[in-house]
Amino acid sequence: MNVIRAAAIGMCFGVRDALRAAGQVDQPADVTIHGELVHNPQVLVQLQQRGFRMLDEEDRSQLPETTGVLITAHGISHCERRRLVEAGKQLIDTTCPLVRRVHEAAQRLQQDGFHVLLIGRPGHVEVQGIIEDLEHHDVIASAEDVQAWTHSRLGVICQSTTPPRHAAELLVTIEARNPHAEVRFVNTICHPTLERQYALEALCLSVDAVVVVGGPRSNNTRQLLDLARDAGTPAWQVQAAADLRAEWFTGCDSVGLTAGTSALDETVDAVEQALRSLTP
Ligand code: SF4
């Protein structure tokens, strides 16, 4: 089968840097990863096999037992960083610079008197890290979360992996429901997310189906899948080549291939090879 790769695909620099930093740790048994380094089960198993301990991403309230603590690319709040440092922990900080940019935008808006509205997924670790430092805020996952706020200034930012179209639609809704308010939008979507989304949109115009490589807990992988389906292109998410099913591609001449920002290069290559040899 003919396979066309998206022009921008797979692992972003933020995740590569975090994995490199973990790879340079000499004594993994002395280090706890503060959540999931990447939302990729394969990588998490490899890290555990090297000896790293790992805090459950849903509950990071307990103090790690090790002195070393590795902060993931998703970042943490300033108050959480302070708590760890005051407890004597030595931090290996792999927070992505583009996540730091979201934190800075949130702080600036708050200092300028804006009520911060964060477009993102409630409970996501990146979102948690941003809102924990804010005095007041709301997290907006969908149009149903948009209210008529009493605040006269509303500052809107996005989780770094928000699909640009979703952010644009919510911004219109926020403005429509709050005509009295000054609405300031700071676009904090990271450019690797934008590139992957735009590349997939273009790809959907020239293929019969799309395969998205990525872990089930990866937010941006799920968003790539939704984007393809919203464009009317049949799409499937796989973690590995073994998940592919020939019957998905009945009647297809060409299939598009993309991958979330935490997918390993070798996994994407293996899925591509398997797709090429498939006979639907
Ligand atoms: S998805 Fe964007 S913000 Fe997140 S680690 Fe990658 S580059 Fe950084």
pLDDT means per 10 residues in the chain (280 residues)? Answer: 96 96 96 92 92 87 93 96 97 97 98 98 95 97 98 97 95 98 98 96 97 92 95 96 95 95 95 88
Walk me through the domains of the chain, giving residue ranges and CATH numbers: 2-9+191-276 (3.40.1010.20), 13-96 (3.40.50.11270), 98-185 (3.40.1010.20)
Pocket test for ligand 1, best of 126, 130, 161, 194 (most atoms within 8 A of CB): 161
| Residue 190 Cβ < 6 Å to ligand 1 | yes
Pocket test for ligand 1, best of 38, 43, 99 (most atoms within 8 A of CB): 99
What does the pLDDT read at residue 39?
85
What does the pLDDT read at residue 38?
87
What does the pLDDT read at residue 280?
60
Nearest to 171 by CA among 161, 160, 188, 183: 183
| Residue 155 Cβ < 6 Å to ligand 1 | no
Catalytic positions: 126
